[in-house]
Amino acid sequence: MKKIQFNAVTATYKNGEGIRRADFVLNPHEFLFLTGPSGAGKTTILKLILMSMLPDSGDVQVGKYNSQHISKKEIPLVRRQIGCVFQDFRLLEDRNIYENIAFVLRITGHREKSIKRKTFKMLAEVGLSHKRNQRPQQLSGGEQQRIAIARALANDPFVILADEPTGNLDPETAKDILSLFKTINERGTAVLMATHNQNLVAQYAYRKLELKNGRVFG
């Protein structure tokens, strides 16, 4: 069973910000909120999980990979197990919705028959099959985030990292997106969601970690 574990992790930037001696576990199939104000260290934790940043001390375990022993050529293998969703969607504006999802599958070596099957499956799961030929700019913010979620799920990750995924959405749409994440989690995918939206967090009984000045509480 794959999990993510931080063991006394310190990781800082030149200006002194970052995280200090963070200890926590994201268990298999768990939904975990990571809360705290801007600059508290939420994004640093996500970078450490993706191993785009390595600890100054301590270690991060992602599945079978450990930050202390990982080689550069193994880092892409870590990232293939992780789906990422961002506040600004990060969709390819020059491609339609179908191609935004299919692109992710192509670069990980899937065959065209498998790409077509999986892309239609992902579109159906987020309720947007009927908009597959439209470009991102033709969709609402909530629809764009649904496509970003479908893309993040395309390679069957064991965990989804969501960095302020409702930050650009109105309250009602944000609630719908949280409901979609809840469904994804109930199907077996772990979710780690970084957010400063305490009102949204309060509506769910999931475990919460709070970051204050680079320290993890809870």
Report pLDDT digits (tens) over 83-104: 999 999 999 999 999 999 999 9
Condensed to tens digits (0 to 9), the pLDDT of residues 20-69 reads: 999 999 999 999 999 998 888 999 999 999 999 999 999 999 999 999 99
Paired tokens of 60? 């991060």
**Which whole number is the average pLDDT over 195-209?**
91
Beta strands in 27-168 (DSSP E): 31-35, 57-62, 65-66, 82-86, 159-163
| pLDDT value, residue 198 | 87
Q: Where does CATH 3.40.50.300 sit in the chain?
A: 1-81+158-218
| pLDDT value, residue 78 | 96
Rounded Cα–Cα distance for residues 190 and 30 (Å): 5
Average pLDDT, the chain: 95
Rounded Cα–Cα distance for residues 114 and 55 (Å): 37
**Which whole number is the average pLDDT over 209-215?**
92
- Contact status, residue 133 vs residue 96, Cβ threshold 8 Å: yes
| pLDDT value, residue 99 | 97
Question: Percent of the chain having pLDDT more than 70?
Answer: 100
* CATH classification (class only), 1-81+158-218: alpha beta
**Which whole number is the average pLDDT over 72-82?**
95
| pLDDT value, residue 37 | 87
| pLDDT value, residue 16 | 82
